[in-house]
Amino acid sequence: MNNNWTYFAAQRWARQRLTGTTVDPGAPQFLLKMRHGWDATHLLLHNRERMPKAEQDWFQQAIDRLLRHEPAQYIVGQAPFYGRAFKVTPAVLIPEAETAELVEWVLNRIPDRPLRVLDLGTGSGVIGITLALERPSWRVTLSDLSPAALTVAKQNCRRFGLKLPLVASNLFQKLVGRRFDLIVTNPPYIDRRATGIMDQAVLDYEPHLALFADENGLGFYHRLFNQVGDHLLPDGQLFGETGYDQEETIQALLHRCDQRAKIETRHDVAGKMRMIHVWDFSGAGGN
């Protein structure tokens, strides 16, 4: 790259490098906006400024990484979610639009009153932290099996000035005796046999622990449905993200595990079933 290039010239160079590839052509702009905290307007305002040499070197390496199909969010170390920028690393999933829809559903459905909330399998913490920021009266706990993921979640808590409890736990193993009004989860739910239709960047870079589950992708939910009633307060509720092809199988699984429980499913903006809301579990609140 030319040491005198502007931000505009750098983007033009990047577009040329990416031409004819499968890389998102908007990725170079995304990198610059996230690195600087700019929106599209501010990126335009800086277009004629000279890019510092150190940043040119970083940008050139970033484009090379894009060409190796590394997600732009991991390259810049941040991802947008619900109007905020969260730290992400390859130890956690990159937050997707479906997860934001899940959060929106919870906020619209659950009254704004003091609640005990668990973000089960928190990853980067985007669900629990967003709920805590949007509903300051909620007492939110974050849990995850992965110590590396909890490190990222802790950093995101600090980023937003929160001091939320973080628990290293395989499902409810370290939450014995704890009950919550609300449990929200985006767990592993992908069938390992589905790798042939998955994006290569996801397979190569995102954590498989957070992606795949046994029992055709329903292994986590099988264990969850068997145990969750013992960790909910009276009128406690569960919200979760699921696979688009699991609408019938997850409802059948729930009723095998708990005949009393009630479930509703919700479709995303693309019309695919991606979320569940479950309540009236046997054992909830000691019943």
- Given CA atoms 64, 68, 70, 72 in this order, what sign does their dihedral have? positive
The answer to whether residues 262 and 279 touch, using CB atoms and an 8 Å cutoff, is yes
C-alpha angle 80-209-268 in degrees, rounded to nearest 5: 45
Structure tokens, 92: 């956690």
* Residue range 59-81: mean pLDDT, rounded: 97
Identify each DSSP E strand in the chain by its residue range: 78-81, 84-87, 116-120, 139-144, 166-168, 180-185, 190-191, 212-213, 232-241, 262-267, 273-279
With H, G, I as helix, E, B as strand and everything else as coil, classify residue 222: helix
Q: Identify residue 126 by its one-letter amino acid code.
A: V
List pLDDT tens digits, range 243-285: 989 999 999 999 999 999 999 999 988 888 999 999 999 888 7
Q: Identify residue 47 by its one-letter amino acid code.
A: N
Nearest to 150 by CA among 171, 124, 131: 124
Specify the pLDDT at position 203: 72
List pLDDT tens digits, range 197-220: 667 777 787 788 888 778 888 999
Average confidence score pLDDT of the chain: 93
- CA 275, CA 152: separation in Å to the nearest integer? 25
Q: Which residue has 């909830």 as its token pair?
A: 284
Structure tokens, 72: 């732009």
Structure tokens, 215: 């029992």
Please report how the helices 27-36 and 7-18 are oriented relative to each other, as an axis angle in degrees rounded to 10. Answer: 140
Specify the pLDDT at position 210: 85
